[in-house]
Amino acid sequence: METVPFVQELENFKTERLAPIIKAGQTSLAGGPAVDGKQMLQIALANEISVSELAAAWMPSTPEIDVKIALARQAGDEAGHFELVAERLGALGFDSAGFRAPAENPLFQYLKGLSSTVERIAGGLFTLESIAYAVNENFMAFCERQGDSETVRIYREYIQPDERAHQQLGNRLLAKYATTPELQRAARETVAKVIEISAAARAQAAARIGSACFPGC
């Protein structure tokens, strides 16, 4: 398949697979119990630093210079998101100075094991950032209901535009590098696996904290 139609087909596939994750957050938003917003933002801290570390870990062994630079940009953006969330938590009375990066979970173990450029683009920029954007929209709605307009502003003005830009960059890079049936198959399998693991992890977290409406990365 030509690369541009392939990426569009993969975008449709991703959207379909993401629907249950988005729906779970919306269901929690509509009828779930009240959850502490500071707890949600601490989840965001863990997510942001994990994705920054992932992009940084991939960068040295990714040979294509444009992908290498994309990963460097992503690592910096996610570190910036971490700082924004940490500052917001500080304003809410939570001292994030003692924050420690979380232990590696199955999703990031899987992602760090991806070795090819196409798999890394598909798993990170293309899929993980799409999950983040989608669940952050639910989280912003949660914050609005909590009267936390400042967190909504931070996400709307800074974090979400970056997540969208990362995902769009992933689309362009996949169109450039997923040029053979084998590479396209690898990309599709990676997208499916990332969403599968993410859905399971988010379901477990939702059962633990009492809501599926929490932020991504």
| pLDDT tens digits, one per residue of 165-190 | 999 999 999 999 999 999 999 999 99
pLDDT at 64: 98
Angle CA 16–76–155, to nearest 5: 55
pLDDT at 37: 86
* Rounded CA separation 164/146 (Å): 25
* Rounded CA separation 88/98 (Å): 15
pLDDT at 34: 67
| pLDDT tens digits, one per residue of 26-37 | 998 887 656 788
pLDDT at 30: 85
Name the residue with higher pLDDT: 216 or 77.
Answer: 77
Name the residue with higher pLDDT: 139 or 1.
Answer: 139
| pLDDT tens digits, one per residue of 86-109 | 999 999 999 888 888 777 789 999
> Exposure pattern of 47-85 as b/e (b: 16+ CB <10 Å)?
bbbbbbbbbbebbeebeeeebbebbebbbebbbebbebb
pLDDT at 168: 97
Helix ranges (H only) for 32-95 are 37-58, 65-91
- Report the chain's C-alpha Rg in angstroms: 17
* Domains in the chain, CATH or no CATH each: 3-209 (1.20.910.10)
User: Among 115, 118, 114, 111, which Cα is nearest to 173's?
Assistant: 118
User: Among 200, 212, 195, which Cα is nearest to 14's?
Assistant: 195
72: pLDDT strictly greater than 70: yes
| pLDDT tens digits, one per residue of 110-163 | 999 999 999 999 999 999 999 999 999 999 999 999 999 999 999 999 999 999
* Rounded CA separation 120/177 (Å): 11
- Contact (Cβ atoms closer than 8 angstroms) between residue 117 and residue 174: no
Name the residue with higher pLDDT: 18 or 208.
Answer: 18
pTM: 0.94
